[in-house]
Amino acid sequence: MSRMPRREFLKHSAMYAVCVSVIPPLSYGETDKELVVDPCKTTADILGPVYRAHAPFRSDVIPPGVNLPILNVSGTIVGKDCRTPLAGAIIEIWHADEKGDYDNDSPAYNYRARWKVDQTGIYAFRTNFPGRYLNGDTYRPRHIHLRVSGKGHRELISQLYFKDDPYIETDPWASRPEAMQRILTLSQVKTDEYSVVFDVHLTA
Ligand SMILES: [Fe+2]
C-alpha cells in the first residue's frame, strides 16, 4: 500500500474545493434555518483524490489474514420513485485501512469493492473500520467513500460517516448540514463485529 505524499494531498485538496462548489445548494425552511432534507435523495459528497476504477466485484472486502473488528455495511438502493429497488444498480466503496492509508496501486485493491444489486436492490459489504488520516492540521473522521449508479438515474458520489466521531465537527465535508443523513449509528452484532444500514436513494 502507498500513502499519498502530503504535497500531493494538498494539491488534491484544492481540487476538492472545485468539486464542492458544484454541489447544488440545499433549501432551508421559511420560518427558521432548519435544513429541509429530502429523504428521497441521498446527498452527495466529494470524490476525493484516491478513487481507483475497476475495483473487483465482491461482498467480503477484508484482506486475507486481517483480524480486526468487522464492519458490515448494507442497505437497499432505491430509484427515483423513492421506494422501488433499482435492479442492476452498481455500488462501489473504498476506504482507508486502519492506519489511514489507501491502497492506491496494489492489484489486491484492498478495501475497494463493487457490488451489482439484483431485483431486491440490496447490497452488503463486510469490511473493517476505516482509519483516520490527516487533512491539513486535523484528521478526517472515519469515512467510507461511495459511488452509485443505476440505469436512468443520476450517478451519486458520496461518503458515509459514523456517529460520535470526534473529528466530524472540524471536517469541512462531514460537518456540512447535508452530511447529517450520512452520519450513521453503529449497531454491535457481537464481540468485535458491528453493522450499519444505509439505503441509497438515487434521483433522475
Ligand atoms: Fe477518504
Number of domains in the chain: 1
The single-letter DSSP state of residue 95 is -
CA 136/CA 118 separation, integer angstroms: 41
CA of 144 to the centre of ligand 1 (A): 7
User: pLDDT digit string (tens) for 102-156?
Assistant: 999 999 999 999 999 999 999 999 999 999 999 999 999 999 999 999 999 999 9
CATH number of the domain encompassing residue 123 = 2.60.130.10
Q: Is residue 1 part of a domain?
A: no
CA of 109 to the centre of ligand 1 (A): 15
Helix, strand, coil content of the chain in percent (nearest 5): 10, 30, 60
Q: Is residue 84 part of a domain?
A: yes
Q: Is residue 101 part of a domain?
A: yes
Q: Is residue 170 part of a domain?
A: yes
pTM of the model: 0.83
* Upper half-sphere CA count for residue 75 (Cβ side, 13 Å): 21
- What range does the domain containing 92 cover? 6-201
CA of 175 to the centre of ligand 1 (A): 15
- What share of the chain in percent tops pLDDT 70? 82
CA of 162 to the centre of ligand 1 (A): 14
